Amino acid sequence: MSALLSVERIDARHGLLQAVREVSLEVAEGETLALVGANGAGKTTLLRTIAGAHRPAGGRVVFDGRDVTRMPAHARARLGIALVPEGRRLFPQLTVEENLRVASASRRTGEWNVERVLDVFPLLQPRRRHRAATLSGGEQQAAAIGRALMANPRLLLLDEVSLGLAPVAVEGLYRSLEGLIESGTTIVLVEQDLARAMRVASRVVCMLEGRLVLEGRADDLTRERVTEAYFGLHARSGA
């Protein structure tokens, strides 16, 4: 089966700092890929490069067989790539429903609409007419993911889903994400909580200092092995 997404030897920089170093990976349609690594590993830059929000210094991004490397973010969104960035970036003075409908203005055709988003994220149902600025962190994250889904994406890129959230909010959010995964949505998930990432993902990729240092099926990897790659312990020990 051909990959929905292919990242081929991508380099990405922030000025003189090389944040991503010759990264290559593939994501199959319907797969959930967990992208893990410590702060500064290059995960967010890689997601932004895939989405078109960051220009690569080298390499290619291929989506559904089409080279999109030079394509701007809005054009990639029309093809079906949606990024939920760290920090959520909702319109604070708009209601939940209004935030969702903003995304639907230029959306691709498909099954996602306001009611389906509220079914998947039931915590938003009683808050649908409340301004985004009044939501809790978990509710804001759910609204941000819901807004991305309103564009009917083929590929959903989620950056730091649980960052800064209370444990009870994380539990509710991941219950909803598991529903998305079961529905066949293709997801690349950046997550620092290794246990959760490995529980929901079909495959795990670990980054360290801009490079991929470990890749495998979640069922085949132990948490200890991922932790060693996460902190670079295998490299220091010469393993």
Domain ranges of the chain: 5-237
105 pLDDT band, cuts 50/70/90, is: low
Radius of gyration of the chain (CA): 17
Longest dimension (CA), the chain: 56
The token pair at 233 is: 């312990």
More confident residue, 12 or 180: 12
Question: For residue 239, what pLDDT is reported?
Answer: 40
Q: Which CATH architecture has domain 5-237?
A: 3-Layer(aba) Sandwich (3.40)
pTM of the complete model? 0.91
Instruction: Out of 42-51, 84-93, 230-239, give the one with best mean pLDDT.
Output: 42-51
The mean per-residue pLDDT over the stretch 97-111 comes to 81
Question: In angstroms, how far is CA 48 from the centroid of its own chain?
Answer: 10
Instruction: Share the mean pLDDT of the chain.
Output: 91
Angstrom distance (rounded) from CA 171 to CA 188: 19
- Using an 8 Å Cβ cutoff, are 141 and 176 in contact? no
At residue 103, does pLDDT exceed 50?
Answer: yes
**Segment 156-179, tens digit of pLDDT:** 999 988 888 888 888 888 888 888
